[in-house]
A and B are shown apart, each in its own frame.
Chain A
Amino acid sequence: MIGGIDIQVPTRAGESSLEVAVRAIRQRWPLAVFENGITGERYDEFRQIPLGNLEELFVYRDGACANLWDEEGAIPSIYNTMIHIIPNDETLSLVIDEKDAAMEALIQAVEWGLREEIFCVRAEKRAA
Protein backbone atom coordinates (compact mmCIF):
# COMPACT_ATOMS: atom_id res chain seq x y z
CA MET A 1 0.00 0.00 0.00
CA ILE A 2 1.32 3.43 -0.88
CA GLY A 3 0.79 6.02 1.82
CA GLY A 4 -1.33 5.31 4.85
CA ILE A 5 -0.39 4.92 8.47
CA ASP A 6 1.71 1.92 9.36
CA ILE A 7 1.05 0.56 12.84
CA GLN A 8 3.47 -2.04 14.17
CA VAL A 9 1.91 -4.48 16.63
CA PRO A 10 4.30 -6.71 18.59
CA THR A 11 3.38 -10.37 18.51
CA ARG A 12 4.57 -13.73 19.71
CA ALA A 13 1.70 -15.53 18.05
CA GLY A 14 3.85 -16.57 15.10
CA GLU A 15 1.85 -18.04 12.27
CA SER A 16 -1.42 -17.35 14.14
CA SER A 17 -0.87 -13.57 14.12
CA LEU A 18 -2.55 -13.00 10.81
CA GLU A 19 -5.56 -15.09 11.79
CA VAL A 20 -6.02 -13.20 15.05
CA ALA A 21 -6.05 -9.91 13.14
CA VAL A 22 -8.43 -11.18 10.48
CA ARG A 23 -10.84 -12.56 13.05
CA ALA A 24 -10.78 -9.31 15.02
CA ILE A 25 -11.43 -7.21 11.91
CA ARG A 26 -14.24 -9.53 10.91
CA GLN A 27 -16.01 -8.69 14.17
CA ARG A 28 -16.33 -5.13 12.90
CA TRP A 29 -16.70 -6.03 9.23
CA PRO A 30 -18.74 -9.27 9.07
CA LEU A 31 -19.01 -9.05 5.28
CA ALA A 32 -15.27 -8.58 4.82
CA VAL A 33 -13.56 -9.94 1.72
CA PHE A 34 -9.86 -10.58 1.37
CA GLU A 35 -7.12 -10.25 -1.22
CA ASN A 36 -3.62 -11.64 -1.43
CA GLY A 37 -1.41 -8.56 -1.29
CA ILE A 38 1.16 -10.10 -3.61
CA THR A 39 -0.84 -12.03 -6.19
CA GLY A 40 -4.12 -10.13 -6.13
CA GLU A 41 -6.08 -13.35 -5.64
CA ARG A 42 -9.39 -12.63 -3.95
CA TYR A 43 -11.03 -14.67 -1.20
CA ASP A 44 -14.69 -14.00 -0.55
CA GLU A 45 -14.81 -16.28 2.49
CA PHE A 46 -12.56 -16.83 5.49
CA ARG A 47 -12.19 -20.52 4.68
CA GLN A 48 -10.52 -19.65 1.37
CA ILE A 49 -7.70 -17.60 2.88
CA PRO A 50 -4.38 -19.49 2.75
CA LEU A 51 -3.41 -18.29 6.21
CA GLY A 52 -0.11 -20.14 6.26
CA ASN A 53 1.11 -18.87 2.91
CA LEU A 54 0.53 -15.14 2.85
CA GLU A 55 3.07 -12.36 2.94
CA GLU A 56 0.47 -9.62 2.79
CA LEU A 57 -3.30 -9.49 2.99
CA PHE A 58 -5.80 -6.78 2.17
CA VAL A 59 -9.03 -6.93 4.17
CA TYR A 60 -11.87 -4.93 2.67
CA ARG A 61 -15.02 -3.99 4.55
CA ASP A 62 -17.15 -5.72 1.91
CA GLY A 63 -17.14 -6.72 -1.72
CA ALA A 64 -18.33 -3.32 -2.94
CA CYS A 65 -15.43 -1.59 -1.20
CA ALA A 66 -12.99 -4.10 -2.69
CA ASN A 67 -14.30 -3.28 -6.17
CA LEU A 68 -14.01 0.45 -5.51
CA TRP A 69 -10.44 0.09 -4.31
CA ASP A 70 -9.65 -1.83 -7.47
CA GLU A 71 -11.25 0.79 -9.69
CA GLU A 72 -10.40 4.03 -7.93
CA GLY A 73 -7.51 3.33 -5.58
CA ALA A 74 -7.14 5.26 -2.34
CA ILE A 75 -9.71 8.00 -2.73
CA PRO A 76 -10.90 9.81 0.42
CA SER A 77 -14.49 8.58 0.16
CA ILE A 78 -13.35 5.00 0.83
CA TYR A 79 -10.65 5.70 3.40
CA ASN A 80 -10.57 3.18 6.24
CA THR A 81 -12.58 0.58 4.36
CA MET A 82 -9.48 -1.51 3.79
CA ILE A 83 -6.73 -2.68 6.13
CA HIS A 84 -3.43 -3.92 4.77
CA ILE A 85 -1.87 -6.59 6.99
CA ILE A 86 1.77 -7.67 6.77
CA PRO A 87 2.72 -10.45 9.21
CA ASN A 88 6.32 -10.82 10.29
CA ASP A 89 8.01 -12.97 12.90
CA GLU A 90 7.75 -10.55 15.80
CA THR A 91 5.49 -7.81 14.52
CA LEU A 92 2.27 -7.47 12.63
CA SER A 93 1.96 -4.38 10.43
CA LEU A 94 -1.48 -2.89 10.05
CA VAL A 95 -1.70 -0.15 7.44
CA ILE A 96 -4.74 2.11 7.57
CA ASP A 97 -5.67 5.36 5.87
CA GLU A 98 -6.31 7.51 8.89
CA LYS A 99 -6.75 7.17 12.61
CA ASP A 100 -10.24 7.53 14.00
CA ALA A 101 -11.89 6.19 17.11
CA ALA A 102 -13.32 3.08 15.46
CA MET A 103 -10.03 2.16 13.81
CA GLU A 104 -8.04 2.76 16.98
CA ALA A 105 -10.44 0.55 18.93
CA LEU A 106 -10.05 -2.18 16.35
CA ILE A 107 -6.26 -1.97 16.42
CA GLN A 108 -6.33 -2.12 20.19
CA ALA A 109 -8.48 -5.26 19.95
CA VAL A 110 -5.85 -6.87 17.72
CA GLU A 111 -3.04 -5.80 20.07
CA TRP A 112 -4.74 -7.27 23.11
CA GLY A 113 -5.80 -10.36 21.23
CA LEU A 114 -2.18 -11.03 20.32
CA ARG A 115 -1.04 -10.53 23.91
CA GLU A 116 -3.12 -13.42 25.24
CA GLU A 117 -0.94 -15.92 27.06
CA ILE A 118 -2.06 -18.71 24.74
CA PHE A 119 0.43 -17.24 22.27
CA CYS A 120 3.18 -16.51 24.76
CA VAL A 121 3.34 -19.29 27.32
CA ARG A 122 4.90 -22.63 26.57
CA ALA A 123 2.93 -25.69 27.70
CA GLU A 124 4.52 -29.09 28.25
CA LYS A 125 3.12 -32.46 27.37
CA ARG A 126 4.12 -35.42 29.48
CA ALA A 127 3.57 -39.08 28.87
CA ALA A 128 0.49 -40.39 30.65
Chain B
Amino acid sequence: MSRSSATMLEEIIRQAGEDWLIDTCVPPDAAIPRLQQTLEQLQATAGARLGNLAPEFSEQALLQEYRRNPAGVRAFLQVLGGRRSPEMLLMAWRIIHQGMELKSIELTYRRQATFNATVVLESPDGTEDAPYRSNNIHDFALFRHIGILEIDTNPVFEGFYPLHI
Protein backbone atom coordinates (compact mmCIF):
# COMPACT_ATOMS: atom_id res chain seq x y z
CA MET B 1 0.00 0.00 0.00
CA SER B 2 1.46 3.34 -0.98
CA ARG B 3 2.21 6.13 1.44
CA SER B 4 -0.29 8.39 -0.30
CA SER B 5 -3.12 5.88 0.17
CA ALA B 6 -2.19 5.43 3.83
CA THR B 7 -2.54 9.17 4.21
CA MET B 8 -5.93 9.08 2.52
CA LEU B 9 -7.31 6.49 4.96
CA GLU B 10 -6.00 8.43 7.92
CA GLU B 11 -7.53 11.62 6.54
CA ILE B 12 -10.91 9.94 6.18
CA ILE B 13 -10.72 8.66 9.74
CA ARG B 14 -9.73 12.00 11.21
CA GLN B 15 -12.21 13.95 9.09
CA ALA B 16 -14.92 11.58 10.26
CA GLY B 17 -13.99 12.33 13.87
CA GLU B 18 -13.02 8.74 14.57
CA ASP B 19 -9.48 9.59 15.67
CA TRP B 20 -9.70 7.02 18.46
CA LEU B 21 -9.24 4.31 15.83
CA ILE B 22 -5.66 5.51 15.46
CA ASP B 23 -4.94 7.11 18.81
CA THR B 24 -5.97 4.14 20.98
CA CYS B 25 -4.00 1.66 18.90
CA VAL B 26 -0.78 0.45 20.49
CA PRO B 27 1.40 1.73 18.95
CA PRO B 28 -0.64 4.36 17.03
CA ASP B 29 1.63 3.96 14.02
CA ALA B 30 0.35 0.42 13.59
CA ALA B 31 -3.27 1.47 13.21
CA ILE B 32 -3.34 2.35 9.52
CA PRO B 33 -1.44 -0.75 8.33
CA ARG B 34 -3.80 -2.94 10.40
CA LEU B 35 -6.85 -1.24 8.96
CA GLN B 36 -5.46 -1.56 5.45
CA GLN B 37 -4.92 -5.26 6.04
CA THR B 38 -8.53 -5.58 7.20
CA LEU B 39 -9.71 -3.79 4.05
CA GLU B 40 -7.67 -6.16 1.90
CA GLN B 41 -9.21 -9.18 3.65
CA LEU B 42 -12.60 -7.63 3.19
CA GLN B 43 -11.98 -7.11 -0.53
CA ALA B 44 -10.99 -10.75 -0.90
CA THR B 45 -14.09 -11.91 0.96
CA ALA B 46 -16.33 -9.66 -1.12
CA GLY B 47 -14.81 -10.96 -4.34
CA ALA B 48 -15.24 -14.58 -3.27
CA ARG B 49 -18.88 -14.06 -2.28
CA LEU B 50 -20.14 -11.57 -4.84
CA GLY B 51 -17.83 -11.93 -7.84
CA ASN B 52 -18.03 -8.99 -10.19
CA LEU B 53 -20.80 -7.46 -8.06
CA ALA B 54 -18.40 -7.06 -5.15
CA PRO B 55 -18.14 -3.51 -3.81
CA GLU B 56 -14.74 -1.87 -3.85
CA PHE B 57 -12.90 -1.35 -0.57
CA SER B 58 -10.10 0.85 -1.81
CA GLU B 59 -9.39 3.99 0.16
CA GLN B 60 -10.58 6.01 -2.83
CA ALA B 61 -13.89 4.14 -2.75
CA LEU B 62 -14.18 4.81 0.98
CA LEU B 63 -13.55 8.49 0.37
CA GLN B 64 -16.23 8.59 -2.33
CA GLU B 65 -18.72 6.93 -0.04
CA TYR B 66 -17.74 9.27 2.78
CA ARG B 67 -18.66 12.20 0.56
CA ARG B 68 -22.04 10.61 -0.25
CA ASN B 69 -22.89 9.23 3.16
CA PRO B 70 -20.57 10.43 5.94
CA ALA B 71 -22.67 8.94 8.73
CA GLY B 72 -22.61 5.53 7.09
CA VAL B 73 -18.85 5.58 6.70
CA ARG B 74 -18.46 6.68 10.32
CA ALA B 75 -20.49 3.62 11.34
CA PHE B 76 -18.33 1.42 9.17
CA LEU B 77 -15.08 2.84 10.55
CA GLN B 78 -16.33 2.29 14.09
CA VAL B 79 -16.63 -1.44 13.48
CA LEU B 80 -13.60 -1.73 11.22
CA GLY B 81 -11.11 -1.30 14.04
CA GLY B 82 -12.12 -4.25 16.18
CA ARG B 83 -11.68 -7.98 15.75
CA ARG B 84 -14.57 -8.41 13.34
CA SER B 85 -14.82 -11.08 10.69
CA PRO B 86 -14.55 -9.89 7.06
CA GLU B 87 -17.82 -11.61 6.28
CA MET B 88 -19.79 -9.58 8.81
CA LEU B 89 -18.01 -6.37 7.85
CA LEU B 90 -19.15 -7.03 4.31
CA MET B 91 -22.67 -7.49 5.61
CA ALA B 92 -22.49 -4.07 7.28
CA TRP B 93 -21.15 -2.42 4.14
CA ARG B 94 -23.90 -3.94 2.01
CA ILE B 95 -26.46 -2.27 4.29
CA ILE B 96 -24.65 1.07 4.42
CA HIS B 97 -23.52 1.46 0.86
CA GLN B 98 -25.93 -0.59 -1.16
CA GLY B 99 -29.10 -0.15 0.85
CA MET B 100 -29.58 -3.85 1.51
CA GLU B 101 -32.25 -4.75 4.04
CA LEU B 102 -32.07 -7.21 6.92
CA LYS B 103 -34.37 -10.06 6.07
CA SER B 104 -33.51 -12.25 9.04
CA ILE B 105 -31.12 -12.50 11.96
CA GLU B 106 -30.51 -15.61 14.02
CA LEU B 107 -28.35 -15.48 17.12
CA THR B 108 -27.41 -18.21 19.54
CA TYR B 109 -25.08 -17.92 22.52
CA ARG B 110 -24.00 -20.22 25.30
CA ARG B 111 -21.58 -18.81 27.83
CA GLN B 112 -18.05 -20.10 27.33
CA ALA B 113 -19.36 -22.46 24.68
CA THR B 114 -20.80 -21.04 21.48
CA PHE B 115 -21.72 -17.90 19.62
CA ASN B 116 -23.39 -18.11 16.22
CA ALA B 117 -24.87 -15.37 14.12
CA THR B 118 -26.56 -15.79 10.76
CA VAL B 119 -27.80 -12.78 8.82
CA VAL B 120 -29.72 -12.79 5.54
CA LEU B 121 -29.82 -9.59 3.50
CA GLU B 122 -32.09 -8.79 0.64
CA SER B 123 -32.37 -5.91 -1.77
CA PRO B 124 -35.61 -3.94 -2.18
CA ASP B 125 -36.33 -6.01 -5.31
CA GLY B 126 -36.15 -9.19 -3.26
CA THR B 127 -32.73 -10.46 -4.33
CA GLU B 128 -30.97 -12.23 -1.46
CA ASP B 129 -27.30 -12.55 -0.62
CA ALA B 130 -26.07 -15.92 0.60
CA PRO B 131 -26.33 -15.94 4.42
CA TYR B 132 -23.61 -14.16 6.37
CA ARG B 133 -22.41 -16.40 9.17
CA SER B 134 -20.09 -15.87 12.10
CA ASN B 135 -18.99 -17.64 15.25
CA ASN B 136 -16.75 -14.73 16.27
CA ILE B 137 -18.11 -13.21 19.49
CA HIS B 138 -16.63 -9.81 18.54
CA ASP B 139 -19.06 -9.60 15.64
CA PHE B 140 -21.86 -9.12 18.14
CA ALA B 141 -20.75 -5.48 18.36
CA LEU B 142 -22.08 -4.92 14.86
CA PHE B 143 -25.63 -5.44 16.02
CA ARG B 144 -25.36 -2.36 18.25
CA HIS B 145 -25.36 -0.26 15.09
CA ILE B 146 -28.55 -1.59 13.57
CA GLY B 147 -31.60 0.66 13.59
CA ILE B 148 -34.98 -0.44 14.92
CA LEU B 149 -38.33 0.34 13.35
CA GLU B 150 -41.86 -0.82 13.89
CA ILE B 151 -44.02 -0.80 10.78
CA ASP B 152 -47.70 -1.52 11.42
CA THR B 153 -46.66 -3.16 14.73
CA ASN B 154 -44.29 -5.47 12.82
CA PRO B 155 -40.60 -5.59 13.76
CA VAL B 156 -38.01 -4.24 11.35
CA PHE B 157 -34.26 -4.04 11.75
CA GLU B 158 -33.09 -1.47 9.25
CA GLY B 159 -29.97 0.59 8.61
CA PHE B 160 -26.49 0.65 10.09
CA TYR B 161 -25.74 3.81 12.04
CA PRO B 162 -22.79 5.36 13.87
CA LEU B 163 -22.63 5.49 17.65
CA HIS B 164 -22.02 8.84 19.33
CA ILE B 165 -18.44 8.29 20.41
A122: nearest chain-B partner, CB-CB: B164
* Chain B binding surface SS class: mixed
Complexed CA–CA distance, A62 and B145 (Å): 29
B24: chain A residues within 8 A (beta carbon): 125-128
Let me know if B147 and A23 touch, CB within 8 A.
Answer: yes
A20: chain B residues within 8 A (beta carbon): 147, 159, 161
Binds A, one of B1-9, B42-50, B150-158: B150-158
B26: chain A residues within 8 A (beta carbon): 127-128
Interface size bracket, A side: 35 or more
User: Shortest CB–CB separation between residue B150 and chain A, in angstroms?
Assistant: 6
A-B contact count (CB 8 A): 92
B75: nearest chain-A partner, CB-CB: A16
* Chain A binding surface SS class: helix
- Residues 98-128 of A, flagged 1 when their CB comes within 8 A of B and 0 if not, give 0000000110010011001011111111111
Of B72, B124, B147, chain A has the most CB atoms within 10 Å of the CB of B147
* Contact for A118 among B67, B70, B101, B163, CB less than 8 A: B163
Known: A47-B97, A123-B163. A52 touches B147 (CB 8 A): no
21 contacts between A and B (CB under 8 A): A13-B161, A15-B71, A19-B69, A20-B159, A23-B147, A23-B159, A24-B158, A26-B101, A27-B149, A46-B98, A47-B99, A51-B72, A52-B67, A113-B148, A118-B147, A120-B164, A122-B164, A125-B20, A127-B24, A127-B26, A128-B26
Known: A16-B162, A127-B24. A31 touches B124 (CB 8 A): yes
Of A20, A47, A122, A127, chain B has the most CB atoms within 10 Å of the CB of A47
User: Shortest CB–CB separation between residue A59 and chain B, in angstroms?
Assistant: 13
Within 1-52 of A, Cβ neighbours of B (below 8 Å) are at 13-16, 19-20, 23-24, 26-28, 30-31, 45-47, 49-52
